[in-house]
Chains A and B, each alone.
Chain A
Amino acid sequence: MSALLIEMSLLLSVTMVAAAILATRGRQSLAIAILAAGLVSLLASVQYLLLAAPDVAMTEAAIGSGLTTFLFFFVLGRVRGGERD
């Protein structure tokens, strides 16, 4: 049981770091970067659940992952042409 949890935690961590690199490297389109940042948040909320913090997990899933991504997309949709570096 505990070994399984640790493996899950490791897997989540590796995925989070990969998504974070995807989100911050300036190679791919801004939409992908925003979605990758949302993925980091979503995986973080699963990580919180493994760390026995269900309250924080709910907050992160609803606010950090859901609302923030949509706030970004509202602004991204308005600044046409600004997504070029």
Chain B
Amino acid sequence: MAYIAMTTGFVLILIGLFGALTNRNILRMIVAFTVANTGVNLVMVAVGYMHGRTAPILDEAVPVAEAVARIIDPVPQALVLTAIVIGVGVTALMLAYVYKLYETKRTLDISAFKDLKW
């Protein structure tokens, strides 16, 4: 199952990058970036998965003494949790800049923004 999720994650990264590189509309580029972001997170969670083990929460089903043999790797999960929260922050920042860009040029076509190009 880790292989399925990992392959899906990589495919999502490729689709997202393709969308971000070929679309001309800035909002569409950001949508593609969020898809790629989801793909990266999926790959990282899939790396932590181990067959036949359970979530890293100790309770009656997973007694403390057996934890080492019963749980999957908790570190990638903690990482991805951070990555998702930072990801939405980055998206919000990009969207705020989209609003400002539209305010100045009245268009979202990326080829209209050439002011720093020489």
Contact = CB atoms under 8 A, between A and B. Distances in A.
State if A and B touch, Cβ cutoff 8 Å.
yes
Contact of B31 (A23, A63, A78): A23
Majority SS at the chain B contact face: helix
B45 A56 contact: yes
B85 A63 contact: yes
Contacts of B108: 79, 82-83
B58 to A, nearest CB: 13
B12 to A, nearest CB: 5
Given A13-B4, A71-B95, A81-B106, A26 B28 contact: yes
Contacts of A10: 4
A55 B82 CA distance: 11
A8 B72 CA distance: 20
Contacts of A24: 15-16, 18-20, 23, 28, 31-32, 35
Contacts of A81: 106
Size class of the B contact interface (CB-based, 8 Å): 35 or more
A64 B88 contact: yes
7 contacts: A44-B38, A51-B48, A52-B54, A55-B77, A60-B41, A71-B95, A75-B99
Interface of A: 5-6, 9-10, 12-13, 16-17, 20-21, 23-26, 30, 33-34, 37, 40-41, 44, 47-48, 50-56, 59-60, 63-64, 67-68, 71-72, 74-76, 78-79, 81-83, 85
Interface of B: 1-2, 4-5, 7-8, 11-12, 15-16, 18-20, 22-25, 27-28, 30-32, 34-35, 38, 41-42, 45-46, 48-49, 53-55, 57, 72, 77, 80-81, 84-85, 87-88, 91-92, 95, 98-99, 102, 106-109
